[in-house]
Amino acid sequence: MENAEHRSAVLLELKKTLARDRTKVSVSGFSALGLVEMTRKRTRESLAHILREPCPACAGKGQVKTSRTICYEILRELLREAKQFNPREFRILASQEVVDLFLEEESQHLAMLGDFIGKKISLQAENSYHQEQYHVILM
């Protein structure tokens, strides 16, 4: 866009539209490449912050995936394995926290997946496993 009037019209329209946004937005104008430069204040926590929690082994210096994240990883792996192989049943070996979450809050998802793939899915807590460690065993 070489015409200065057109650039001004675009910026004006953009600023009008962004005025309805509750989040603070700053429009700087066009860059040398012809792109509109703008910043927008982050209003939510980052995805990494939502999906991870402080590592208990290193007192929060690192991060590990949450039990819920591991549950969803296991569900996705079960679906992949069911498409590729045809076992009689699946056994999930996981940490006690992950097994507890499956039994309490994610039991409906696990049951729905078992019905969908037509296979029995059993859980086994392994006390020696850390939160991110699990195995899906085909039987």
Give 24's pLDDT tier (boundaries 50, 70, 90).
Answer: confident
- pLDDT of 1 reads 63
Q: Lowest mean pLDDT of 17-21, 45-49, 57-61, name the range.
A: 57-61
Percent of the chain with pLDDT over 90: 55
What does the mean pLDDT of the chain come to?
90
Residue 102: enclosing H or E segment and its boundaries? helix 96-104
Q: Could you give all domains of the chain from N- to C-terminal order, each with its CATH number? A: 4-40 (no CATH), 65-138 (3.40.1260.20)
- pLDDT of 34 reads 84
In tens, the pLDDT along 44-53 reads 778 887 888 8
Q: How far apart are the C-alpha atoms of 110 and 53, rounded to whole Å?
A: 23
pTM: 0.64
- Bridge partners, residue 128, by sequence: none
List Cβ neighbours of 89 (8 Å cut-off, separation of 6 or more).
Answer: 119, 120, 121, 122, 139
Q: How far apart are the C-alpha atoms of 47 and 76, rounded to whole Å?
A: 19
List Cβ neighbours of 27 (8 Å cut-off, separation of 6 or more).
Answer: 11, 14, 15, 18, 36, 37, 38
Say whether pLDDT at 86 is over 70. yes
- pLDDT of 25 reads 87
121, exposed or middle or buried, with CB in 10 Å at 0-12, 13-18, 19+?
buried
